[in-house]
Structures are given as C-alpha cells and as structure tokens.
Chains A and B, each alone.
Chain A
C-alpha cells in the first residue's frame, strides 16, 4: 500500500493536519503536501482514467511533467479542470475530483475502450470516422466527445470569481529556474552588477539537489542553498519570485512568467495569478532536466513511477507509493532511489539493471545494503489492474520471455534524463544529440538570437545537459558570467563552488523494453500516457509512411495535450527513428511551443474582463442617453444609441417614431463620434486634392463639400463633409470608425511621400460635442437659442459659420444627411451635455425627438445616400455607387485615380448601385443575392447582385433597399429574384423574393425639404 512514512518530508509541517476531499471522500494530510503526495499518503494511487482507453492511471511524476494526475479543482465559479495534482499545493478545504470517468473512477464504463484497443490504433479517428460525412454531426462527434477528452469545461454561465493581473518588468538578466544552477547563475550575474530577476515555478528553492544528494563546497546542498538565498536577498539588484513559471520565450527577449499567487492560499487578498510580461536583455535557462520513463508493457499501471519522483515523494513529502518496490534502470542515477527507499525503511525487492554488467559505485552501495541487483534484466510486463501486483522480469535484450515473477506493489523506472530545452527552443535555439547521455541538449553555437542578432538565451546546469552536480555548478557560473558580460557588466574572476557526487557508470539507451519485445507487449507499452500512445502506434505510423516527426505526432497524437510530451518526447522519437531505421538526430524533434505548461485564461486576460474587456468610448452626452432608454449599438469602440425606447415600445416602434417625428418636426442626433481632422498649411489645398477624389482647393472659405477618399487601389475608404475654415485651413469630417485610420493615412502620405509639403494635421475629433439638429423646425430652434444668424440667406446649404448659440461657443454646419433642413452644431466637449440639455429644453415646443443610429440609417437610405461599410466593402469604387460626379475630371492625379483606370474598374459589367422595391412592400433581407440564370463551375447558382442596405421606411410605409446590381442603372423597372435567409436551391419558389429595380432616391427626389 501507499502510505505516509513515520519520518521524513522536508516540506511538511507535521505539527498540524489539514483536510481535503477527493471525489467527495474526506482525507487529511499536512501543510506542505501537494495533492499528489497527499493522495499517496492516503493510499489513493488511482487518480484518473486515461484519455482513449480509460485505463486506470496513477501518479507518475512529482512535478510539472505529470501526464496522468489531472484533476478538477474547486467548485462553482472557482472550478478549474486539468490541474496537475503534482503541482497543486494542498490547503485546508481543497476539493478535487477525478476526470475522464463515468460513473465513477473505480467503475468506469469507458474502460470497454481498453478491450477494443486492438481496434483503436494510430490514426483511428481519421480512418474510422471518415465516412459517411453526414454521420459526423449526430453520431461520430458526440460519441468521440463523450468517450475522449480530458476534464470538463466550467459551466458556461459561471464566471471566474478571482482577479488577475499583468505586470511589465524590464531587466538585464532573467534567470528561469531556482535550482542550484539558477541560484548560482543569478548570484554571479547580480554580483557583476546586472539587474536580475530570478523566477522559480515551485514554492521551493534549490531544485532537486537536496533530494539527489552530494556536497557543495563540503556542505549539504540544503545548507548551501540556505546560505546562497541569504546572499541573494542582500543584493538590491536581484529579485526572486517563487511559484512563477517561465512560460514562454519570444522575440527580442520577451518572456512570459506565470505567477500563482493564491492557488495555495485561497481567500488571500489580491490577484490569483500574475502574468509577468518581461523584457530581458539576457535569459538564463536553468530549467533542469526531466527523467524519462521506460517503455515496458504495463508501464502505466498505478504504482509505476519515475524513480526520481519516487525519491522526491520520500524525501520531500515523507510518503511512499508502495512497501515492496522493484527498481528498473538503465543508468546509475536510478540507484539513488533504491538508497533513499531503503533509508526510509521501504523494502527494495529487486533492482533490474538493463546493462549487461550493471552499474558502478552506486550499484555497489546498493548491493552492500543486501539488495539484490540483476544485471542484464528488465521488465517483460507489469501485472495488476488498479495497482501493481507483480513484475515479470526478463532479459533486457530479449523478446520478453518471463524469467521470474516478482511480487511487489510499486515500480520505480529510471530511463535516463532529458534536459528541459523548451525555453531554449521556443525562439529558435537549436539542439544537438548527446550520444553518451542519449538526450538532446542546447547547441550553444546555434542559440536563439535577439534584436542585435546575438544570442539572447544562455542555458545553464542540467538544462544545458550538465547532469552532474559539479558540472552543473561550473556551467552555472559560466552562464551567469556570460549573461552579465552580454549586458555590459564587468565580470571578475569567480570560482565555482565545488560539487561532489558519486561517480556514475555510463547509461545504456534502451528505448523498447525488452529490446525485442513481442507485438503484444509493445501494445501495452505506453510512450505517451496522456494520449494513450503506445510503442506499437508509433511503429504503425512509421509503416504507414509517416516519416516526418511532425506528421507522426499529429497522426498518433504523441506529445499533444496538456503535458506536451514532456515524458514521451524522446522515447517516442527513438521508437520512431528505430522504426524508420534512421538515427535520432536525423529524425529530429517536434517543435517546442509555448507555454511550457498550461497557463490560465485569467492570467492571459489580466484586467481585460467585464467593464474593462475593451475600451468603451463614450460621447459627452453618453450619460443622458443611458438614462433615457438608449438601446446601445457598438460602432468601432464607441457606443452610440441605436434608438431610445420609451416605456411600452419595441425597438422597431421607437425607430419609426424617431424618424416620423424628425421628418414631421424636429429631431436631434448625437453626432460627436464623427471624425474631425484639421488640415492646415501652405500646401494643405494641394494635399487635400490628392486625398479626395474631388477638388478641395477651390472650395471657398466658409463652404462645405462632400468628399470621397479612395485607397491607392481605387476603392472607396471613407467619406465626409470638408469645410474650408480659412485660407490655409480645412476641417475634414470622417466616418465614426474612420477618424484614427484616416488621420494615420494623412500622416502617412505627409511623412513618407510628400515630405516637403508644408501641411500639419490635428485629429480634434474629441474636442467637440456635435449635434445634428434636423427637421422642418431645426432653424427655429437655433433661432430660439439665439446669437447667430442662421437664416437661409446668411447660412445657405453647404456653408459654415462660427459664433455663439445660446451662449455656447459653436461651429454651425448647414449640411444634411437626412434630406431634411439640418444643421450640425459643434460645441466644446465639456459643454456638450449642457448644450444637449438646452436643445431639449428649448425644442420641447416642437416635440424635439432625439434619434439614434438606426433612424439615421433609414433616413439616409430613404434619400439614397450611401454609407461606408454598408454600400462599400473594400472592393467598391465610387463609380459603382454612381458617385462619378464627386470625382474631379480636372485633376491630373489623386490617390486611387490610376487604379480606377484599370480594365476591371472600367468594366461596364461591374455591379452598380440601384434601389429596390418589393411588390408587396415587404423588406428584403440584408445581404440577399440576386439570382442569375445558370450555375457556376461549382454547381452554385450564378448571381448578378446583392442587397447592401434594406429597411422598413416608416415615411413611405414600405420596405426600401439599396443594392449593387450588374449593369443596374440601365435596368430600371426590371424584376429580379433575391434569396431569402433560408434560401434553398431545391425549393426556390418558397425561398426567394421578387424585387424591382428603381431609382435609389426614394424620398423627396427634388430636395425641396432640405431647401426650406
């Protein structure tokens, strides 16, 4: 049984107990435990079911590389799936549940998948669920989703009740990893004068050294770590952060650190996670190494564990996964586990050392303790269902003929170590194969480079393939000096502390155990626990022609999901290269992608949630709108009232009321969002002539002109009224969404092309609150305000005047986008709310009616005015919209002119703007397509136009629409067939509508109303 040991556990506080539940069962453990060690202490080895076959699975590792022990943590708004039990620090009251099982962990009906394993080989999904296509939606997909998958997502209606934040840090040297190498590298760099940030993913400093033993400068690693931490804390230019994982290394020294602040202490004030957005000049990757499993049949039975993890549990947490342990190894390091177990009073019943001659000094020490070591032996198979029962030993280089049955309840496997090269590789660092250690290590001659083209990541210690304590410390000093030098520090002579450990005999790579294992054994030997990928799957993929490691990964799913193959990568590669008869370095690795381990969505989001999800731009009158029934519409980042609903009104009723009231008497529109750009200078006229399709330099002072702007491709990008304010000054109005874009566009041409032209621009959009005063009574309202002559004679259509209205400093533009008598009045934004109030107060006698964007849209459509984004979509030129009149024929050049001369642009077959009327006055669906005879090469119906705007016009009492139609303006009166939203080619009679081509100006074509 797995249990708590009487003594040991250097992380534990044995003075008090804390409680937690797993799948509803209450258990207890000590502060300092992880969820994994606590479960082991409570004899709970079975922690989950595997992904594909629903095989029982137990804890394999002791850290971030854990593939099996994924659990759902917390409840309700704090529920989170797929959390690793091995990195979850236990706290009082923790609740966890197992995943991927139904109805319970012990009795899982999905386990039937295991019985079908023979029929679920690599590429199974692609092969089995391909045909018929229609089965996907209702049969295959629901089945796969139920049977497979990891944890379940939180309830869609629940909201994360924690807070998160980002923090930007700029440092000289970032050291990732707080093991002895990281501590030492950080110390060296900081003592050389560099600003250093040191981050460590766990709560503890010093890494594996205290567990793995040896001495540093004659003292224990623990003592050395304690002293070093004190030294580090005395350095003002060094800061260390625990529980902070180096998640990603990106271009130009941008590193993401994922700090977990309160996961171990819920209820603490402050953010749960902090995402460090770090800019480092140099990055020291001291990320350690991960032990590899061995690929024997039954290597996934609960109780089979990495040898290093097993000694971590004994030393750090005082727990053991079993009482009788078999160690299987291909190297000397594994023997350290046997020593630790023996020391803790756990019986090591056998060591199976795959090497024909066994190991070196460490082996001898184990033998001296009376532990039997069988050289040249390995595991044929492990028996047991939810727990290890028997190890069947065999010759390491044989086919798996069983030599002996060894009863036991846990297996420690030591397959050698792989440096954690993820951070080195994220940004392009290359690897080289180390024959002796059988691992990939950083190729420092091909480092990831930064903005200056020089290496920006320095690997250190075991992450750099220096696995012995002495070499790791020497390498760390080198790395610290190297980083300090590169950031411009002067580095003195530094002597590395001397690390000493037992000498080790060479490792013997063993990728399949036993080497010539029979097919049935290979079908039970797991490479990737999390994805249930076995040795046989990789071999099948190779036989089926998947030669590229990246393809084989996707086909077999090796190395996917939350652990990203931390344990499986090298073993999988080795099996693949063996099957392909190629050397491992030739096959290469898959790409290491960030993040190193999963990080929370909350951390990524930071403050950007709820009201801060994105900036919400508000006009000066926003609060009034909000208090008066505004139904909001997002326009770019602005919010604008779509309409104002009164009690008892639907949105549609409100829109119609607003339109009728405006046309009948008086309406107000908050037009503050319209872009306003001042253009001034001796060359301003010439500049605007280039920007607009029409002539702006000839505009008299005080006059307004509607202008169109095109891109160099000839397509319409914006429109608006241009006003000449003074001899050398113009004011350009843009669309609501266009202000920043058009201002940038102007500056682009001034700064990059016409660099000598003397023109200044200023985007003053937000300086003014602007109100459109619209309707037959508009002039009377302004006259009532008083202060300016706004008569037809003094301020005719398309003119501008500046003065005061009712005491407000005002700019008045006599322009109209509704066809009614209309003035747009700009006042300083700080006075906008007061001005709006004044207009409402004085306009009451005319039933003044604020209207929203929908009324604006309908009224402009009634007049046939185009709207950027409705009638245009980036492929429409002004000529398509019958706006040829706004394109100057006199100008030699303007942006887009040349492109509009291209053959396709001048093609008479382009779709052009028309109006549409339905026979019964119904409203066409927006975006409806006009059908044309015949079908295209794909068998789809041909089309000859599309509806760009469609509304119900309360003014006319029927539907109106604008459309772009093939040769449209010459086909007045012709009836076309349009698709409806549920168009079905097999039933066109029921799913199409008829409409007749008409002039797009539906209302007051003579313009009499505007001319009032």
Chain B
C-alpha cells in the first residue's frame, strides 16, 4: 500500500464544539521543529526560503493559516505547512544546512501536537479561565504567541485576532485540552471581562 493512501488521523478526528465559542480540531498539520541560531542568515535564509515567510520576532508569528513560522524559544521555530510536506521537506532542509556546515536541528514533528482553533467573542475569557498568562488585549496582541499552560498541560497560545486564537498541545493530551477549552467556553457564556 503506498503511503499516499494512508489517512493521517489526528487524535481528535476533527472534533468540534460549538456554542458561544467554537473549539475545533484543525486536523493534521505539517509541522517542522527548527533549532538553530535565529540571528544567523545562514540558518534563517534556508528556513525562510522553505517557509515562504520571514522569521518572526520574539513571541511572534508570521505567515498565514496554512504556512507560518512560530517563535518558540530563543533558538527554536515551529514551521506550519500542509500535512505530508515535512516528510521530504525536513530531511531536505537538514541536508542543506548540514551541507553548508550550519549547526541546526530539523525535525518533522507533524504528528506530535494537536492544533485547536478557537473562535468567538469570548475567546479571551475562555483562555483566562485556564492560563496564568495575561491574555488581555493590551498584553497579548493579535499576531503574538505565548507558550504557557492551560490548566495542567503545556500549551502554546497563538492569538490571530480579537475573536480567533489557536492552541497547540501535545498529542497525548489532545482530549484533555479539547475538553478544557470547550468546557471553559460553555460554563458561563455571558461572562465578559475583557
């Protein structure tokens, strides 16, 4: 059976929770973890070429829904792209960087995390129930990202707009994260704070 016939299955299998806030499994997403010197053009050049978007600033993200670079740590980026592409793209980029003597680590991590999309006017309230991070509009602007925790699980929160955010968690806690977020939105839909 050729690989192209295999159907990748995200842990939530496209689950969706609708209400005042919609919480949705974004489904399988291609992801590449990149570790390297973010100030070295020899590293960022090939990365940007592959991503098609510029390397973002500290705790920022750049790009679009289908192709984006997320700043994860002073020496780490996460590249989002359509599922399946990293299978060949990651080793190719690693080989390119290795070939030029650039010290870097490129890993296909497409299957490691779950990507949840949350949408609704109470998006910030739902997050504030779960994370110690300051999610007020002044402190957490659209386009920025923060790694923190939601309740007891590690999570990266990416705010896209006043009504849209994405939450990335490890695959094994996908069910926990989905229940947390959908529960947080459902509990007190009228509670407005921000």
CB pair A612–B179 under 8 Å, yes or no, is yes
**B33 cross-chain contacts in A, Cβ below 8 A:** 762, 764
* Residue among A239, A607, A638, A768 with the highest chain B CB neighbour number at 10 A: A607
The stretch of B47-55, B58-66, B107-115, B158-166 in contact with A is B107-115
The B contact surface, by secondary structure, is: loop
- What's the Cα separation between A764 and B171 when bound, in Å? 11
Contact partner, A766, options B131, B172, B190, Cβ 8 Å: B172
Contact partner, B35, options A165, A760, A766, Cβ 8 Å: A760
Over the window 760-794 of chain A, the binary record of Cβ atoms lying under 8 Å from chain B Cβ atoms (1 yes, 0 no) is 11101111100000000000000000000000000
B10 to chain A, nearest CB (A): 6
**B103 cross-chain contacts in A, Cβ below 8 A:** 681-682, 758, 760
Contact partner, B134, options A165, A269, A279, A830, Cβ 8 Å: A279
CB pair A617–B129 under 8 Å, yes or no, is no
CB pair B172–A807 under 8 Å, yes or no, is no
The stretch of A47-55, A166-174, A400-408, A481-489 in contact with B is A166-174
CB pair B129–A168 under 8 Å, yes or no, is yes
**A169 cross-chain contacts in B, Cβ below 8 A:** 128, 193
Check A809 for interface membership: any CB of B closer than 8 A: yes
- What's the Cα separation between A169 and B138 when bound, in Å? 13
Contact partner, B8, options A166, A682, A831, Cβ 8 Å: A831
B122 to chain A, nearest CB (A): 12
CB pair A607–B184 under 8 Å, yes or no, is yes
Q: Closest residue of chain B to A680, judged by CB?
A: B105
Within 8 A of B (CB), among A597-611: 606-608, 611
Given contacts A239-B193, A760-B105, A762-B33, contact A612 B180 (CB under 8 A): yes
A616 to chain B, nearest CB (A): 6
Interface size, chain A (Cβ < 8 Å): 52
Given contacts A607-B130, A764-B107, A764-B112, contact A829 B171 (CB under 8 A): yes
- What's the Cα separation between A169 and B175 when bound, in Å? 26
Check B7 for interface membership: any CB of A closer than 8 A: yes
B146 to chain A, nearest CB (A): 13
Given contacts A166-B129, A607-B183, A760-B35, contact A807 B105 (CB under 8 A): no
How many residue pairs link A and B with beta carbons under 8 A? The number is 143
CB pair A165–B129 under 8 Å, yes or no, is yes
Check B188 for interface membership: any CB of A closer than 8 A: yes
**A269 cross-chain contacts in B, Cβ below 8 A:** 188
Q: Closest residue of chain A to B7, judged by CB?
A: A834
A337 to chain B, nearest CB (A): 40
- What's the Cα separation between A828 and B30 when bound, in Å? 12
CB pair B10–A830 under 8 Å, yes or no, is yes
- What's the Cα separation between A768 and B112 when bound, in Å? 8
CB pair A762–B151 under 8 Å, yes or no, is no
Within 8 A of A (CB), among B128-184: 128-136, 139, 151-153, 170-176, 179-180, 183-184
* Residue among B171, B175, B176, B187 with the highest chain A CB neighbour number at 10 A: B171
A828 to chain B, nearest CB (A): 4
Check A345 for interface membership: any CB of B closer than 8 A: no
CB pair A170–B107 under 8 Å, yes or no, is no
**B129 cross-chain contacts in A, Cβ below 8 A:** 165-168, 606-607
- What's the Cα separation between A277 and B35 when bound, in Å? 35
CB pair A612–B10 under 8 Å, yes or no, is no
CB pair A620–B152 under 8 Å, yes or no, is no
CB pair B175–A270 under 8 Å, yes or no, is no
- What's the Cα separation between A66 and B177 when bound, in Å? 42
Q: Closest residue of chain A to B98, judged by CB?
A: A728
CB pair B172–A270 under 8 Å, yes or no, is no
Check A808 for interface membership: any CB of B closer than 8 A: yes
CB pair B6–A808 under 8 Å, yes or no, is yes
Over the window 800-824 of chain A, the binary record of Cβ atoms lying under 8 Å from chain B Cβ atoms (1 yes, 0 no) is 0000101111000000000000000
**B171 cross-chain contacts in A, Cβ below 8 A:** 620, 766, 829
CB pair A831–B6 under 8 Å, yes or no, is yes
CB pair A678–B107 under 8 Å, yes or no, is yes
Within 8 A of B (CB), among A91-131: none
Contact partner, B180, options A607, A681, A768, A833, Cβ 8 Å: A607
Instruction: List residues of chain B with CB under 8 Å of any chain A CB.
Output: 1-3, 5-11, 28, 33, 35-36, 75, 83, 87, 103-105, 107-113, 125, 128-136, 139, 151-153, 170-176, 179-180, 183-184, 187-188, 190-191, 193
Q: Can you report 22 residue pairs joining A to B where beta carbons are below 8 Å apart?
A: A166-B130, A167-B128, A167-B193, A269-B188, A270-B190, A279-B134, A616-B173, A617-B170, A617-B172, A618-B174, A678-B107, A680-B105, A760-B36, A764-B109, A764-B112, A766-B170, A766-B172, A767-B107, A807-B1, A808-B6, A828-B110, A831-B9
Chain A to chain B: the 7 pairs with minimum beta-carbon distance, closest first: A807-B1, A617-B172, A830-B8, A829-B111, A760-B105, A170-B134, A270-B188
Instruction: List residues of chain A with CB under 8 Å of any chain B CB.
Output: 163, 165-170, 239, 261, 269-271, 274, 277, 279, 606-608, 611-612, 614-620, 638, 678, 680-682, 758, 760-762, 764-768, 804, 806-809, 828-831, 833-834
Supply 11 further A-B pairs (C-beta < 8 A) apart from A762-B107, A767-B108, A829-B111. Answer: A168-B129, A169-B128, A274-B188, A279-B134, A611-B176, A762-B105, A764-B33, A764-B112, A767-B107, A767-B110, A808-B6
